[in-house]
Amino acid sequence: MTRTTARELALRLCFSLSESGEGPEELLETVFDPEYYETLKSEDEIFAEYPDEAQMRYIKRLVAGVGEHSYELDGYIEKYARGWKFARISRTAVAILKTAMYEVMYMSDEVPVGAAVNEAVELAKKYEEPETVPFINGILGSFSREEAAEK
pLDDT value at 148 more than 80: no
Domain count, the chain: 1
- Please tell me the predicted confidence (pLDDT) of residue 151: 61
Quickly state the pLDDT bin for 101 (edges 50, 70, 90).
Answer: very high
- Please tell me the predicted confidence (pLDDT) of residue 123: 97
- Please tell me the predicted confidence (pLDDT) of residue 150: 66
- Please tell me the predicted confidence (pLDDT) of residue 16: 92
- Please tell me the predicted confidence (pLDDT) of residue 117: 95
3-state helix, strand, coil in the chain (%, to 5): 75, 0, 25
Residues 6+ apart with CB under 8 A from 13: 27, 28, 31, 59, 63
Q: How many CB atoms lie within 10 A of CB 39?
A: 10
- Please tell me the predicted confidence (pLDDT) of residue 73: 96
Kindly write down the DSSP assignment for every residue of 74-140, as one continuous string: HHHHHHHSTT--GGGS-HHHHHHHHHHHHHHHH-TTTS-HHHHHHHHHHHHHHHS-TTHHHHHHHHH
User: What is the extent of the structural domain holding 110?
Assistant: 3-150
CATH classification at residue 39: 1.10.940.10
Residues 108-129 have a mean pLDDT of 94
- What are the Cα distances from residue 72, in Å, to 11, 45, 77, 135, 141? 17, 32, 9, 20, 18
- Please tell me the predicted confidence (pLDDT) of residue 82: 86
Residues 101-125 have a mean pLDDT of 94
The whole model's pTM is what? 0.93
Cα 59 from Cα 29, distance rounded (Å):
12
pLDDT value at 75 more than 80: yes
- Please tell me the predicted confidence (pLDDT) of residue 134: 95
> Of 15-24, 70-79, 92-101, 120-129, where does mean pLDDT reach its minimum?
15-24
Residues 89-103 have a mean pLDDT of 96
